[in-house]
Amino acid sequence: MPAREVRSEYKKDASGEAVTTVYSNATPPPASDSTDEFTTYFDQKIPIPEDEKHPWFSFRKLWAFTGPGFLMSIAYLDPGNIESDLQSGAVAGFKLLWVLLLATVIGLLLQRLAARLGVVTGLHLAEVCNRQYPKVPRIILWLMVELAIIGSDMQEVIGSAIAIHLLSVGKIPLWGGVLITIADTFMFLFLDKYGLRKLEAFFGFLITVMAIMFGYEYVTAKPNQAELLKGMFVPYCDKCGPPQLEQAVGIVGAVIMPHNMYLHSALVKSRQINRSNKKEVSEANKYFFIESCVALFVSFLINVFVVSVFAEAFFGQTNAEVHNVCANVSIEHAGLFPLNNDTLDVDIYKGGVVLGCYFGPAALYIWAIGILAAGQSSTMTGTYSGQFVMEGFLNLKWSRFARVVLTRSIAITPTLLVAIFQDVEHLTGMNDFLNVLMSLQLPFALIPVLTFTSLRPVMNDFANGLGWKIAGGILVIIIISINMYFVVIYVTALGQMVLYVIATIISIVYLAFVAYLSWQCLIALGVSFLACGHTYHLGLTAQPELFLLNNIDAEPVMSR
């Protein structure tokens, strides 16, 4: 191979800072036009006030940094999570609350990595993937993340449609609820035209609505506080079988969502931070982490409300018992529950009906309002995720309206078709498949974020230390293993040979790509012998300015 000639070109990035890009003779530098620039979705940047009186901690500064973490936390409150919560309470009582707590803490640590990547580099995760991975892996990665976003979006639209169906006492069909969700999402998405802080305030309002609605259900159900605390802090599950184990796995899969890493790394770019000033970057990392802690604590409490209501009132109940209660209070949906002694099987729709049977119609409508707030807020953040991912991976320069139309159409179309041709029970039944779909996509967010935050050429002095590398690697392995178990359980339940064969073929391709990402991640974590010194023979350095993972000690991609 000919010797590689290296040269540098200086240019300005989207924030106006000087950036040095390294090129070789293998790939010419891009044309000096605007198509190579990466820009954030938000045009406005929030200034950070100075507070010399409180150098270590300032509530004024914390308030200025508050916003991105709460938008991120909405993914922990989407209809998929709410359904996982109510099923956990109905199937295992309070026994799996510690799993919910553990999953939330793990999610917080992973979100910290995503936020640090955005703050330190000035690029969100999709943009970094665009610059660091070669073309083919980059496209595959983009497709996988888009699948995760579509799956999440479908759950959120389904939740909103069911809430509208319940609030209208069945007068608005499900497909009508889907269309209403499409329309109001378009309207809400343009709120940031009136200022980013107003948009963040609107999301804060929706989180408050959820807290009040589900808090009302919690107070009405009056759960046993001793059992609640025991289930939250004592890691046990007495007399638990396969259903409870599957539910525990489902909690982890529902809480930790792949596209949320991409979202959070982009949202932190909305604050004015001088990234050439190490003190400002360190301060931004600190305040964003504190805000994320507060936001995820609030989301955890709301999830606990839902689990506790169904654990107290419906754990151990049978379909026949619920049917009789609903029939006695003249609830027209009593037929949803067959007259048998099987354990109560609930979802978002049946959950609202059950609450109406036991606690009165007000509980049903309050539940529906809470689900509507969850669906609307998560649908909006899901759309933002789709736009960040598409812009970052493909560097698209479309108008805002065009981007919204495309990303919404991709997710809405399959949901609308299902809503038209299926009833509400089949619509909620899609959640199991969608949870499996998103579980499969988790490696495509967790592995890249751990890889890039461990690379000193990318993160400089803010790269992960040895402790974070070890802890991050263990967390990624545990989460991926848990979710793969969840996928295996789902596939084995299909019971058809043709589906087994298809699943096997897909699994081989899937695992090969995960192995490739893991290989690069291990090199970034310091396992340098895996690079073998001849990585270029695999064709991974066709664009060396985008791919430095095989040469960690080489000249950085960007020096600021």
- Decide which of 164 and 249 is more confident: 164
**Pairing outcome for strands 6-12 and 18-24:** antiparallel
How sure is the predictor about 230, in pLDDT bands with cuts at 50, 70 and 90? very high
Give mean pLDDT, residues 349-356: 88
Q: What is the rounded average pLDDT of the residues 458-481?
A: 86
CA distances from 308 to 75, 223, 412 (A): 20, 6, 32
Closest CA to 483 of 282, 246, 272: 246
Measure the CA angle with vertex 521, ends 466 and 434; round to 5°. 115
Residue 290 pLDDT level (bands cut at 50, 70, 90): very high
pLDDT-derived band of residue 21, with 50, 70 and 90 as boundaries? very low
- The per-residue pLDDT for range 502-553, each reduced to its tens digit, is 878 888 888 889 889 988 888 888 887 777 654 433 333 333 333 343 333 3
Taking residues 18-28, report their average pLDDT. Answer: 38
Name the more confident of 370 and 22: 370
Of the listed ranges 78-92, 173-187, 420-434, 476-490, the least confidently predicted one is 420-434
Looking at per-residue pLDDT, the higher value among 290 and 242 belongs to 290
Spatial separation of the C-alpha atoms in residues 193 and 43, rounded to whole Å = 9
Q: Taking a C-beta distance cutoff of 8 angstroms, is the pair 82, 91 a contact?
A: no
Q: Are 319 and 101 in contact (CB under 8 A)?
A: no
Q: Which of 432, 375, 373, 380 is nearest to 404 (CA)?
A: 380
pLDDT tens digits, 126-136: 999 998 888 88
Contact 109, 335 (CB under 8 A): no
Instruction: Give the length of the chain.
Output: 560
The whole-angstrom distance between residue 40's C-alpha and the CA centroid of its chain comes to: 19
Is the per-residue pLDDT at 24 higher than 60? no
DSSP category for residue 169? T
Cα(501)–Cα(520) distance, rounded to whole angstroms?
Answer: 29
> Which tens digits make up the pLDDT trace of 46-80?
888 887 777 788 899 999 999 999 999 998 998 88
User: pTM of the prediction?
Assistant: 0.83
| Averaged pLDDT of the chain | 79
Q: What are 21's strand-pairing partners? A: 9
Q: How confident is the model at residue 331 (pLDDT cuts 50, 70, 90)?
A: low
Contact criterion met (CB below 8 Å) for 228 and 94: yes
